[in-house]
Structure 1
Amino acid sequence: LGLPDPDDVSINNIVMQEVAFSGDRVPVRVHLQSEGYEQRTARLSVLLNNRRVSSRVVRFEGGLQFEEVDFRVDIYEKGAAQIDVVIEPFDDEVSITNNRITRSIRVVNEKVNVLYIEGNARWEFRYLRAILKRDPRINATFIASNVGPEVARNSPEHIERFPSKREEAFMYDLVILGDVDAAFFNDEELGLLEELIRDRGASLLMLCGPMHSPGSYKGTPVQTMLPVRFDPDEKWAEVSESVYPVLTPEGRSSLVMTLENEDDLNDRIWSRMAPMDQLPPLLAAKPGATVLAVLSDSTERDQSYPLVAWQRYGTGKCMSIASDRLWRLRYKTGDKYHWRVWSQCIQFMTLSRLMGEHKRIRLEADRSSYFVGSQGRLYAHVLDDDFEPVVQSGFDVVVSGLDGAAASQQIKLQPDRSQPGLYEGYFTPPRPGRYRMEANENDRKVSSITEFQVSDIRQELTETDMRLENLKRIADLTGGATLGVRELPKLALLVNGESLTTTVRSERPLWDHWLVILLLVGLLGAEWILRRRHDLP
């Protein structure tokens, strides 16, 4: 019994970025499903920490539809915040549980310090420089290696060389290395750059250029940090005008490469980078690196070309972008997509440092949201004062519910034998709400924290339509049958009318039965009577 399409409105899913800066406007794409309310309207709202921050009226078309809404992040404390997207319910809906969906967003309240070093006034540099200068979330500093020191003297946003003082060098969250000759740096500067990435949690992004990058960095720390291997003796190779970027599975799920939510449209936008003219002689991605994009002619190559790749290096990240033709994404759209890819790339590269995850102890959960009763996997990456892996019998963390969601619980993470310094364990949230994972008190100052959201959603109230296919499969597996309401008269014919006898055997202790006590009393009484009658002792 049930209705295949009951009158109901539900939010199937939302697409929203996981991180935002204080003051940002965050777009949300809402997947709405409706049946029985065509041409009627309802209010779609966004709640930030249970406070309405945005709303609009939507008209239902019937079936699946997509609606856009945005909100401003008006909180200025770093950490996780709760986002609820709610569609106003009707009085006669089958279920109102599916009218709300909850997610978490991580709020960053600091500006990103970016150092861009360039030696070639190419088109990508000109557009990227403008993007960095006008973004209010970024403090941009530039080094022009192909001009004299007078530019640095006359411009507050320029410096002459890479900082030689540690405190000045370590202030940067991201270093973009353009088409700069490795000879521009001395050994001390390259050493500071490596330490900034490896030990201080900053990031390095190489935007390859035909004059010097990456070929001139053979034998330097930069070659070690890059996620790709290259041939320093080969020249840049021309590529066909028909060759374009193709996203890998990792690229499709990456924030960096998502320019539109629909995969087909996203792929078409990336294809606008063609022609890329020429590319550096990259051999392959290094083991452990993540490739986000390859070339469309990969089937004609011995090995896929790592057009965009990244890897972790110590506590930081390193990325390589092989083409300097990203500016072609501006075709007929202005800076919409060009700005988006660079904005998302900078956010991805700098987030861990801004959120404090460059500390010696980094805590993580395998997801940002769970259901009540589901099992969450928790991780701790533990390094010592020299940023070397710590090997011990276990590592204690504390998981506590925020806003009174649940009492604090100490969990002992077990070491991962395959990766020194990595500890993992499990946590089952007992009730809905926001949770925070922290290190034990002794390690809290050198540890990051992480937060996640737990929701209490029952599947039968979320998906209210009858699943006839599932019922038929259950019937087939059990030898039964499925009947609709109009077929109920057939039920009597399907039920077997023959009687069936079943024998059930059960054992019961005799001492628990009242007849046993009666029998004992009777025997004792009979014995006493016989002794009295026959005058027996």
Structure 2
Amino acid sequence: MNGVSGIQGFWQAIAEGRLVFASGVPVFMVLLLVVLVPLLVWYLYGRTTRPLTQNDRIALTAMRSMALVMLLLMLLRPIIQEWETNPQETYLAILVDDSQSMQINDGSTSQQSRIQAVQNALSPSVLSALREQYQLRTFAFGRDVRRLNSPNDLTAADNRSDISTAISHVGEQLGSLPLNAVVVISDGGDNSNLDPATTAEVLGGREVPVFTVGVGQPEVTPDIAIRNVRSDATLLDSEQVDVELSVSQTGFAADAVQISIWDGDTQVASRQVALGNDGETRRYTLPVVPDRNAAIRYEARIETLTGERLVENNRYQFLVDNSLPETRNILYVDGHPRNEFKFIRRALDADDDLRLASYLQTGPGRFYRQGIENALELSTGFPEDKEALYAYEGLLIGDVELDFFSEGQLGLIRDFVAERGGGLLVSGMVDDAFIDTPLSDVLPLELVRSNSLPGQLQGGIRRGAHATGTMFTPVLTTEGEFANALRLGSSDSENRTRWQDLPELQGIYVTGQAKAGATVLLEHPDLQYQRQPLPVLATQRYGSGRSVALTTASTWRWQMLMPSEDDSHERLWRQMARWLTDEALARVEIELNQESYHAGDEVDVSVRVRDNVFELDNNASVWLQVTMPNGEIAEQAMSWDINDDGTYRATLPATDEGVYQLLVDVTSTSGDGATLEQQGSFAVTPSLREYNDAGLDRRLLQRVAGSSGGRYYELSELDSMLTDLASAPTPYARQVDRDIWHHAFWLGLLLLMLFAEWAYRRYRGLS
């Protein structure tokens, strides 16, 4: 230990509590003596035979005190306790982050990427010195962990960082060996679902410290990033898809930038937008109309601005599944021929995605079927069992009286919504005779008896000056303005204008107020009940499905009194029919564990199977066929999940980027024994998880080190880390006492102080 390092080691040993005295005197007593010696010397120099100047007294006190303190410390024999291991007796593991974020040049390493800085730091001389001291094992990690022969083999190409798995892997691989420590070199960009600090704590419990080395800057600026893309297909006839981009930026506040959507090499939408403040995430919407019935992989783009450090997060791929949907079956029953029935049928018949089967009472005991698929459908009237009613996704009920349904059929309607997840819409009058029946449970309105209503609201719709029969323009509530089912235009302003242009409706059936959990979408502009506007259109969730109440029978006026080219009436009814049936359960449903995937991910496919009465089916034979992006087809049987009724699972590797098509084939051995098919798709896209929030995460790396008994260092402090590593207390290190006075520096310093004091006294003429 040379002189300079001896002084540094002395003070560091005091700070770390490694300085002790062989004489057994506590350190605090020694420090007290060190304080008292100068006071005593100052006092004695004040009693000299010849008076001293203030400067002489200070100089002589300082030199004599230093000499006496050093002599005192020599007599007490200070030693520094250190830990050391014999060369080559223990193992050292070095884990280097090899994920894509390590490609970033964030200005922290003299125009080098992070991985280049690590390669330079782990020079041959550094690794050679480590190999002389340890059995060295080096690893690269990203999604997985692999042995690393040389830092030059690092590629920074993995699209995921999993520090926890990397630490766990080393612990398992070297756990039976004398592992001295683990070193993790990373930017802290962990995007796994595990907490690496918890894994490091396990190693710490085995007295294996984890030392972490941070690479990069806390912020990558300036930068623009697409954080997320969400695409929602609207219910409009145009099948427009509203694509919402979440964009954040640092360093380009309030700048204008072009955002766009691309289908391959074709731009399908674009918009000039103003960016938000630094660190703010803003959302921008672009409408896209798919040009084909297929699962389409689009790409959102932001133009690159001058000076931007990170351009990889300026693009984001996402999937819009515009495949032809299965036909939605809707049953419409009405108690008598009405204009409303005629125009609703006309609107829905023009939609290829909808099939409207109707059962219309045309007179006493006389009924008319329309839109049926075969002669047996509705041949005995309204369905009387689950299998027949559950074949439909939606149910429309017009003006019918209580005796139209049996008690069992009313219970069946309730179950249709609650269990099957179907949609129920009641249009027109709901007789108060339905109070206390299963139908009243399902409806979003509280049915009240007519004679309990205020006089001006009694008697249903009456012509003339009666309040319930007057003309009115329904008012969109706040929820109604944003309801897709009621959109008549792509923009809010166009939507409001088209609603204002609609003809007035005539008459409202007063049935009561909306229930507590219901949502009112349209309300009467004037009439109130219990100080609340009368609801014209209300909805609520009920079990697995939804119910809707439309308290007028005059929407046909929106067709008859508008120009022939206006499609408002048709559009509204088609959208309401789709919305009504949108969440109806299917007998075969495909669920994926993620919205999108990246190369190397595992795709967990879950299929839920129900029988013909929509009971979960545990006795089905389920096969999964996957069509890869390159056209190859693979098949596998799906396994029943014993812990989840009706659920069958399979796992697929996401290897190549592109769109994967799924086809599920189900043969049920219960119920009707039918063979069913269901299609699905998912996209494997380039990953952005390594480029979002790509700054150095010091806090995470500090937690990892602290939880295991290690320490955190910057890459520039790598030499200090290696020095500390050599003296870290581990089960394989032995304690060594080093006498710090066994160095010529300290003896020379003592003699120098004694000589200096003697020379000064002689110079001043003192004895």
Q: CA offset at residue 446 of structure 1?
A: 2.2
Q: Distance in 2 between matches of 1:21 and 1:403?
A: 30
Read off the aligned partner of 1:174 and give its amino acid letter: G
Q: Distance in 1 between matches of 2:295 and 2:423?
A: 26
Q: Which residue of 2 aligns with 1:433?
A: 658
Contact 2:259–2:273 at 8 Å: present in 1 too?
no
Q: Which residue of 2 aligns with 1:532?
A: none
Q: Which residue of 1 aligns with 2:282?
A: 65
Q: Which residue of 2 aligns with 1:85?
A: 300
Q: Which residue of 1 aligns with 2:142?
A: none
Q: Distance in 2 between matches of 1:237 and 1:374?
A: 63
CA RMSD of aligned residues (A): 6.2
Q: Which residue of 2 aligns with 1:459?
A: 689
Choose from 424, 428, 431 the match for 1:212: 431
TM normalised by structure 1 equals 0.56
8 and 477 in structure 1: CA distance in 2 versus 1, 3 angstrom threshold: same
* Runs of 5+ consecutive residues of structure 1 not aligned to the other structure: 150-158, 239-243, 248-253, 260-275, 285-290, 295-305, 313-317, 328-336, 506-537
Q: CA offset at residue 308 of structure 1?
A: 0.6
Q: Which residue of 1 aligns with 2:462?
A: none
Q: Deviations over 1:353-398 (max 9, x none)?
A: 8xxx85x544443444234444444233345678776544x74422
Choose from 341, 350, 369 the match for 2:596: 369
Q: Distance in 2 between matches of 1:232 and 1:497?
A: 79
Contact 1:25–1:73 at 8 Å: present in 2 too?
yes
210 and 204 in structure 1: CA distance in 2 versus 1, 3 angstrom threshold: same
Q: CA offset at residue 448 of structure 1?
A: 1.2
Return the index of the structure with the highest Cα Rg.
2
163 and 406 in structure 1: CA distance in 2 versus 1, 3 angstrom threshold: closer
Q: Deviations over 1:384-418 (max 9, x none)?
A: 678776544x7442242432287625243224455
Q: Distance in 1 between matches of 2:392 and 2:477?
A: 30
Q: CA offset at residue 26 of structure 1?
A: 1.9
Q: Which residue of 1 aligns with 2:727?
A: 500
Q: CA offset at residue 70 of structure 1?
A: 0.9
SS in 2 for 1:447: strand
Map residues 272-421 of structure 1 onto 2, 5 A cutoff: 308-312=540-544, 318-321=545-548, 324=551, 346-351=577-582, 358=586, 361-382=588-609, 390-392=617-619, 395-404=621-630, 408-417=634-643, 419=645, 421=646
Q: Distance in 1 between matches of 2:354 and 2:685?
A: 38
**1:45 aligned onto 2:260:** yes
500 and 173 in structure 1: CA distance in 2 versus 1, 3 angstrom threshold: closer
**1:13 aligned onto 2:233:** no
Q: Distance in 2 between matches of 1:10 and 1:234?
A: 59
Q: Distance in 2 between matches of 1:500 and 1:401?
A: 58
Q: Distance in 1 between matches of 2:255 and 2:445?
A: 60
Structure with the bigger RCO (C-alpha within 8 Å, sep 6+) is 2
Q: CA offset at residue 214 of structure 1?
A: 8.6
Q: Which residue of 2 aligns with 1:273?
A: none
Q: Deviations over 1:297-345 (max 9, x none)?
A: xxxxxxxxx9611445xxxxx52236859x9xxxxxxxxx999997665
Q: CA offset at residue 54 of structure 1?
A: 1.8
187 and 100 in structure 1: CA distance in 2 versus 1, 3 angstrom threshold: same
Q: Distance in 1 between matches of 2:311 and 2:432?
A: 57
Contact 1:397–1:437 at 8 Å: present in 2 too?
no
SS in 2 for 1:6: coil
Q: Distance in 2 between matches of 1:14 and 1:236?
A: 54
Contact 1:22–1:109 at 8 Å: present in 2 too?
no
Q: CA offset at residue 440 of structure 1?
A: 5.0
Choose from 251, 268, 272 the match for 1:54: 268
Q: CA offset at residue 73 of structure 1?
A: 2.0
Q: Deviations over 1:412-444 (max 9, x none)?
A: 32244552x432344443343322332359799
Q: Distance in 2 between matches of 1:433 and 1:214?
A: 58
Q: Distance in 2 between matches of 1:504 and 1:473?
A: 22
Contact 2:357–2:371 at 8 Å: present in 1 too?
no
Q: Distance in 2 between matches of 1:389 and 1:119?
A: 35
Contact 2:540–2:548 at 8 Å: present in 1 too?
yes
SS in 1 for 2:322: strand
Q: Distance in 1 between matches of 2:433 and 2:592?
A: 36
114 and 406 in structure 1: CA distance in 2 versus 1, 3 angstrom threshold: same
Contact 1:432–1:456 at 8 Å: present in 2 too?
yes
Q: Deviations over 1:221-258 (max 9, x none)?
A: x68xx7579999978999xxxxx9999xxxxxx98899
TM normalised by structure 2 equals 0.42
Map residues 250-269 of structure 1 onto 2, 5 A cutoff: none
Read off the aligned partner of 2:248 and give its amino acid letter: Q
Q: Deviations over 1:32-64 (max 9, x none)?
A: 11233446554322234x353523242442443
Q: Distance in 2 between matches of 1:22 and 1:51?
A: 26
Q: Distance in 1 between matches of 2:451 and 2:315?
A: 53
Read off the aligned partner of 1:365 and give its amino acid letter: L
Contact 1:44–1:87 at 8 Å: present in 2 too?
yes
Identity %: 16
Q: CA offset at residue 283 of structure 1?
A: 9.7
Contact 1:83–1:104 at 8 Å: present in 2 too?
yes
Contact 1:214–1:230 at 8 Å: present in 2 too?
no
* Runs of 5+ consecutive residues of structure 2 not aligned to the other structure: 1-215, 379-390, 454-475, 489-507, 521-537, 555-567, 669-673, 733-767
Question: How many pairs align?
Answer: 425
**1:103 aligned onto 2:318:** yes
Q: Distance in 1 between matches of 2:354 and 2:371?
A: 20
Q: Distance in 2 between matches of 1:396 and 1:142?
A: 31
Q: Distance in 1 between matches of 2:265 and 2:337?
A: 48
Q: CA offset at residue 2 of structure 1?
A: 0.9
Q: Distance in 2 between matches of 1:213 and 1:373?
A: 61
Q: Distance in 2 between matches of 1:114 and 1:390?
A: 25
Contact 1:439–1:447 at 8 Å: present in 2 too?
yes
SS in 2 for 1:462: coil
Q: Distance in 2 between matches of 1:383 and 1:197?
A: 14
Contact 2:447–2:512 at 8 Å: present in 1 too?
no
Q: Distance in 2 between matches of 1:174 and 1:113?
A: 7
Q: Distance in 2 between matches of 1:497 and 1:406?
A: 55
Q: Distance in 2 between matches of 1:141 and 1:277?
A: 25
Choose from 231, 240, 261 the match for 1:25: 240
Read off the aligned partner of 1:321 and give its amino acid letter: V
Read off the aligned partner of 1:177 and give its amino acid letter: I
Q: Distance in 1 between matches of 2:235 and 2:297?
A: 12
140 and 470 in structure 1: CA distance in 2 versus 1, 3 angstrom threshold: same
Q: Distance in 2 between matches of 1:390 and 1:143?
A: 31
Read off the aligned partner of 1:400 and give its amino acid letter: V
Q: Which residue of 2 aligns with 1:448?
A: 678
Q: Distance in 2 between matches of 1:483 and 1:412?
A: 49
Read off the aligned partner of 1:309 and give its amino acid letter: R
Q: Distance in 2 between matches of 1:45 and 1:463?
A: 23
Contact 1:41–1:59 at 8 Å: present in 2 too?
yes
**1:175 aligned onto 2:389:** no
